[in-house]
Amino acid sequence: AQKITQTQPGMFVQEKEAVTLDCTYDTSDPSYGLFWYKQPSSGEMIFLIYQGSYDQQNATEGRYSLNFQKARKSANLVISASQLGDSAMYFCAMREGRGFQKLVFGTGTRLLVSP
Amino acid sequence: DARVTQTPRHKVTEMGQEVTMRCQPILGHNTVFWYRQTMMQGLELLAYFRNRAPLDDSGMPKDRFSAEMPDATLATLKIQPSEPRDSAVYFCASGWAPDMDSNQPQHFGDGTRLSIL
């Protein structure tokens, strides 16, 4: 079974609009962390935001926020006021279990922001 | 800003040749990870280290790949002999994990784009 599922291969949004990128995860461990990374066409992986499984509040970082719904096992990324520079691949990842630090990544969503 | 540094950025070589990729983690980070990214498989973890000790290399083909951390400022990933199917982007990432359950982000280098002819 997929640990991380990103069901949207591609998303389009107009500049200045908000967009939500979906991510669902599968784990039975109570201790886990969820991360979002951005990969522009230049190829580097840029850390955006993370949410711990015990965190009570949704994480926010500038224009990025994480809509964490634990019961539904979803951790959607919300980008507000999209900019042209937000066009990139976005990956959701999970760290799970005690004693482990490795991340498992989803297949990614390609976001295209149009003027 | 502190960055993970990877060299070389690009490598083209013929099959059968040895390939060595290097990574300088962010100073003070105690975990180092090697990932491979391909169109077909996405991002896969190859190996990772904590406090220079290898903790997991189950994702790595053992017969031809090896990963080491000779010191805290250098991690290496070697392929010998290389094959065309090894063509991919190889990322190194580092992080600070005060304990094994901490949710600290991993910071990635720019990657090595490897092409095996």
Is B9 in a helix, a strand, or coil? coil
Residue B112's identity, in one-letter code, is T
Partner residue facing B31 (CB), from A91, A98, A101: A101
Residue-wise pLDDT tens digits, A65-108: 999 999 999 999 999 999 999 999 999 999 876 666 788 999 99
Residue A50 binned pLDDT confidence (cut-offs 50, 70, 90): very high
Q: What is the DSSP letter of A65?
A: E
pLDDT of residue B6: 97
B38 touches chain A (CB under 8 A): no
B22 touches chain A (CB under 8 A): no
Taking CA atoms, A50 is separated from A61, B46, B62, B113, in Å, by 9, 22, 32, 27
- Contacts B33 to A, Cβ<8 Å: 101-103
Partner residue facing B101 (CB), from A31, A37, A91: A31
pLDDT in tens, chain B (117 residues): 789 999 999 999 999 999 999 999 999 999 999 999 999 989 999 999 989 998 888 888 889 999 999 999 999 999 999 999 999 999 999 998 877 667 778 999 999 999 999
B110 touches chain A (CB under 8 A): yes
The DSSP bridge partners found for residue B36 are B44, B90
Q: Is the torsion defined by CA of A27, A30, A31, A33 positive or negative?
A: positive
Question: DSSP string of B64-113?
Answer: TEEEEEEETTEEEEEESS--GGG-EEEEEEEE--SSTT--PPPEE---EE
The DSSP bridge partners found for residue A61 are A64
pLDDT of residue B32: 94
pLDDT of residue B104: 78
Contact A37 B108 (CB under 8 A): yes
Contact B103 A52 (CB under 8 A): yes
Helix (DSSP H) and strand (DSSP E) numbers for chain B? 0, 11
pLDDT of residue A98: 64
Partner residue facing B100 (CB), from A43, A101, A106: A101
Residue-wise pLDDT tens digits, A9-41: 999 999 999 999 999 999 988 888 999 999 999
